[in-house]
Chains A and B, each alone.
Chain A
Amino acid sequence: MINKFSAFFMRRKNWAIPYVVFLAIFVVMPLLLIVFYAFTDAEGTLTMANFRKFMLHPEAINTFVYSIGIAIITTLTCLVLGYPAAYILSHSHFNTSRTMVMLFILPMWVNILIRTLATVALFDFLNFPLGEGALIFGMVYNFLPFMIYPIYNTLQKMDPSLVEAAQDLGANPFQVFVKTIFPLSMPGVTSGIVMVFMPTVSTFAIAELLTMNNIKLFGTTVQENINNGMWNYGAALSLIMLILIGVTVLFSNESDGASNEGGVI
């Protein structure tokens, strides 16, 4: 018995088995359950009613589209503010210290609710109205580090001889940036976009707190339905969000994979 046991673990690939079982129970099965609940009613019979309800419910559709809009605006703002910061941080010419980089990442370690409440406090303090502006501003504040860090990372790791090669071939500093540095930092940009877009499009508590419950985002709709026992409808809305996220990830992998394909092999 002991021998068999030992022989089984002698093969190191078998060490993955406990985790594979864990993943099956806690990752795959729950996602299948979302699909199952989405296509059934409370009695467990197969139905499309949950999706029909979503389609016929203008408020739900509006919230959905509005959430995507807010997420896109937040993401773009983060990109516009974050790229220059990441560039300056990564560029040896500006001689920024590692501590400076750390200061930008540090807010990620503060509880997101505390950060949000702190932002609300700041707006209160400045008499800034808690509405759409506060929502976008608050989310940019919350997620800016998630944009800066991946871009900084790719810029940092970039082979400096590529910049030299571009200069050598006759590119002036502006051309070096447009034709070499920016395209090469695309993997960082896409992962930054994903890291900001995903939490903003799916957020629920943050929006409530930042707007005093005045603006409802799609995440809040989903959460309310689950909380109120509408599991099937909630699961259907979750599935819609899941598809949106899946599309985003696929899109980012696509643009990423084009430049990295050879590296994997």
Chain B
Amino acid sequence: MAKAYLWLLLVLLYAPILIIMIFSFTEAKVLGNWTGFSTKLYSSLFAGNVQHSLISALWNTFAIAMLAATISTLLGSIAAIGIFNLRSGARQTINFVNAIPMMNADIITGISLFLLFVSFGISQGFTTVVLAHITFCTPYVVLSVMPRLKKMNQNVYEAALDLGATPFQALHKVIFPEIRPGMISGFILAFTLSIDDFAVTIFTIGNEGLETLSTFIYADARKGGLTPELRPLSTIIFVTVLVLLIVINKRAEKQKTDKIR
């Protein structure tokens, strides 16, 4: 009974995604028309004879996410170490400001950054999008590194200095290895947040013709139709994410049971 409820919810949740997946195997321009099984959309997606803009949007999305996630991870990890060692008053203030981009609505973050860039006459494009993404990704990195710092033995850094390491060596050889799991999960979180983002991107991308996947889909949808090749693309993205998560999950579960044995 209880499980049946869960399955019902899951079916509801996944029905739309399933529809997209099913209709990625037909040629019809309009979603919902079944014109027979075909893998033409897949081949045309890979053959590159889709509009060039979809591929470049995909590439932009990936490049932005990679850059933003990498910079956020470094900035956020070092910041977390600093914040962790601050007096509680200063720490609370920074934690509060750090929480703003997470608690704030995306649209407000987007508009506020838009106003920042136009006020200082900065032309909007690739750089501004990356900066905007770093803004809302870094807080998550700080939050995922913090618990690792709390768990760490507080004297290892002093021990490293005592044994003759410079602060940078101590950071590199002692602190980073301790907080690495937090940094990795922070990076993954930042990467997915950046890929998914739409509301902040749309306000900071400017109108020089730069597109990410989100803005491309939005523009496309407003024109009235969904580029058919988006169906196979979404299917591929979804299946990749699904497989990745299942693999990570199974590995985590296996590690857990291994430890118990």
Contact = CB atoms under 8 A, between A and B. Distances in A.
Touching chains A and B, CB distance < 8 Å: yes
Interface of A: 6, 9-20, 22-23, 25-31, 33-34, 37, 81, 84-85, 88-89, 94, 96, 98-100, 102-104, 106-107, 109-115, 117-119, 121-122, 124-125, 141, 144-145, 194, 198-199, 201-205, 208-209, 219, 222-223, 226, 231, 234-235, 238, 241-242, 245, 249
B157 interface: yes
B63 interface: no
Given A110-B238, A125-B19, A141-B13, 14 more contacts: A10-B167, A12-B157, A13-B85, A106-B242, A114-B234, A202-B108, A205-B202, A223-B107, A231-B118, A234-B111, A235-B111, A238-B107, A238-B111, A245-B108
A242 B135 contact: no
A104 B20 contact: no
A19 B116 contact: no
A121 B19 contact: yes
Contacts of B103: 194, 198, 245, 249
Given A102-B245, A205-B218, A16 B86 contact: yes
A174 B253 CA distance: 33
Interface residues of B, number: 83
Contacts of A22: 75, 134-135, 138
A6 B169 CA distance: 11
18 contacts: A12-B85, A13-B86, A16-B81, A19-B94, A26-B116, A84-B5, A96-B6, A98-B253, A102-B245, A111-B195, A114-B230, A118-B19, A118-B20, A118-B234, A204-B199, A222-B107, A245-B104, A245-B105
B3 A31 contact: no
